[in-house]
Chain A
Amino acid sequence: MEKIDRLGWAAGIAFVSYGLRIGIRASSPQILDRLQELLPPNAKPTRGPRVECMYSLIVRGTKVGSNVRRFNILYGDAVPLVRTKDTDRVLEALEMDLQLYVAERARRRVFVHAGVVGWRGSAIVIPGRTMSGKTTLVRALVRAGATYYSDEYAVLDERGRVHPYPKPMSIRENGGGRPRKILPEAFGGTTGVRPLPVGLVVATSYREGARWRPRRLSPGRAVMELLAHTVSARRDPERAFATLRSATGEATVIKGARGEAEEIAEVLLGRLTEQAGQGS
């Protein structure tokens, strides 16, 4: 038993997310209310005694053992992850680490760091690093009538279909700082519920003044483009290859710098409409 297991915990929750059993325990029951909003989408409570990963949160100001703690401290299993007096910061760290843990280890799903929307029965997947403009483009597509699936991960199954990951969009103002979280319904959008085949993959990032002249990628390069953003690429490359190949099998994959999101959104939706028309 680790030392941390002997501290005595006031409250906790356990849930299943993408086949993983995860627990979160805290030194204060009051913090549990805030934990619910940090969980991955579709997390379901579980009562089983065993979990694969346990997060432990010592809340600042609570008595743990014989001491009143001056810092919030977050542990992932017995490993200290962050120590801070800022409660929002420690919850932010918990949310990020939890999200990444699930994305890397999910059973029967491959997570690609990407924005996703649905349009006329197909998905548009926008892979990209943080701050590449994915959320901006996703928001523009939703405003243009597409259905919101995610601004964080494309969650792919073995057949290459993409599932919704409907966390609220994280909107960062002025290129940094703590993001605002908003739901697509706040600006007239809707959230998808069923898995979709991938129709279009758009590898792009914002560049001021860029003209939209994307080039089409070969099937092999298409897989490579997505692999570069696949969370479990190193942990399970075989499954990543097979899943990405399925996902891109019937999709058009294009790459190029873009200008303003609103202009590109219409072009992309038009392209997917045209593709759907040719396929029918």
Chain B
Amino acid sequence: METTRALMPRAREDELVVEELPDETLVYDLKRHKARCLNRTAALVWRHCDGQTTVPELAALLGEQLATPTDEAVVWMALDRLGRAHLLSEPVTLPADRARYSRREVLRTLRRVAGISLLLPVIESIVAPRAAAQASCISATACTAGSPPCISLPICGQPGQCCVQLGSKCRVRTC
């Protein structure tokens, strides 16, 4: 059985569009239509998840590239976030005491390191919008005045409400 220390995570490669920026990496997941922005730490860990590098080695690499000592906790935190973002080829099993890898715990552990918050791996995500979601709105009156098929557009002045087909009529309902 592979121990957590011997774990060699591998980055997912299939169905991803990747755009590298100087200090961040953008990833578009074609399967889930989600876009992610990895900060420098998360991007570095992800980039070195080659299936041949252990967690201690990742920590050492990270420390080298960020020019500051880096605890394995930061790497585990990154792997946790990368796994939840579906950016690893297989889910990672965190060490038993996984509470250690919450942001608060990592900060507490590393509070002596100046600028630690900049080291924390961050992955921001958005769901890519559907084209129709970018359309202008229609008035509620115009929606209900029509007959099916109803164009599914947002209702002006009513956030979260759209024109939808209900039976043989067009009605205003939650999008």
Given contacts A131-B156, A176-B156, A218-B24, contact A229 B145 (CB under 8 A): no
Contact yes or no, B134 A100, CB < 8 A: yes
Residues of B that sit less than 8 Å from A by CB: 17, 19, 21-26, 28, 30, 33, 35, 37-39, 124, 126, 128-132, 134-142, 145-151, 153-159
Contact yes or no, A178 B142, CB < 8 A: yes
Task: Report if A223 contacts B (CB, 8 A).
Answer: yes
B residues less than 8 Å from A9 (CB atoms) = none
Closest residue of chain B to A249, judged by CB? B21
Interface residue ranges of A95-127 to B (CB < 8 Å): 96-97, 99-100, 103-104, 111, 113
One of A131, A227, A245 near B157 (C-beta < 8 A)? A131
Bound-complex Cα distance A113 to B19 (A): 22
A residues less than 8 Å from B134 (CB atoms) = 100, 103, 111, 113, 229-231
Interface string of A218-254 (1 = CB under 8 A from B): 1111011001111111110110011001000000000
B residues less than 8 Å from A174 (CB atoms) = 157
Given contacts A89-B146, A92-B138, contact A131 B19 (CB under 8 A): no
Interface residue ranges of A62-96 to B (CB < 8 Å): 71, 79-86, 89, 92-93, 96
* Total number of A residues with any Cβ neighbor in B under 8 Å: 51
B residues less than 8 Å from A84 (CB atoms) = 145-147
A residues less than 8 Å from B159 (CB atoms) = 131
Bound-complex Cα distance A233 to B141 (A): 31
B residues less than 8 Å from A93 (CB atoms) = 138, 146, 151
Bound-complex Cα distance A219 to B43 (A): 14
Task: Report if A28 contacts B (CB, 8 A).
Answer: no
Task: Report if A172 contacts B (CB, 8 A).
Answer: yes
Residues of A that sit less than 8 Å from B by CB: 71, 79-86, 89, 92-93, 96-97, 99-100, 103-104, 111, 113, 129-131, 152, 170, 172, 174-178, 218-221, 223-224, 227-235, 237-238, 241-242, 245
Bound-complex Cα distance A176 to B155 (A): 8
Total CB contacts across the A-B interface at under 8 A: 141
B92 CB, nearest partner CB in chain A, Å: 23
B residues less than 8 Å from A99 (CB atoms) = 135-136
B residues less than 8 Å from A113 (CB atoms) = 134
Bound-complex Cα distance A86 to B146 (A): 8
B85 CB, nearest partner CB in chain A, Å: 14
Contact yes or no, B130 A234, CB < 8 A: yes
Given contacts A176-B140, A224-B124, contact A237 B17 (CB under 8 A): yes
Contact yes or no, B126 A228, CB < 8 A: yes
Contact yes or no, A237 B30, CB < 8 A: yes
> What would 14 A/B residue contacts be, using CB atoms closer than 8 Å?
A83-B146, A84-B147, A89-B142, A93-B146, A104-B131, A152-B136, A175-B156, A177-B156, A219-B22, A220-B23, A229-B129, A234-B33, A234-B131, A241-B26
Closest residue of chain A to B154, judged by CB? A130
Bound-complex Cα distance A146 to B143 (A): 35
Bound-complex Cα distance A92 to B155 (A): 14
Bound-complex Cα distance A242 to B17 (A): 11
What 7 A-B pairs have minimum CB-CB distances, sorted nearest first? A220-B24, A176-B157, A175-B157, A176-B156, A220-B37, A237-B28, A84-B146
B residues less than 8 Å from A83 (CB atoms) = 146-149
One of A175, A218, A241 near B17 (C-beta < 8 A)? A241
A224 CB, nearest partner CB in chain B, Å: 5
Bound-complex Cα distance A74 to B137 (A): 18
One of A130, A178, A219 near B24 (C-beta < 8 A)? A219
Bound-complex Cα distance A227 to B101 (A): 31
A residues less than 8 Å from B130 (CB atoms) = 234
Closest residue of chain A to B36, judged by CB? A224
B residues less than 8 Å from A235 (CB atoms) = 131
Bound-complex Cα distance A82 to B144 (A): 12
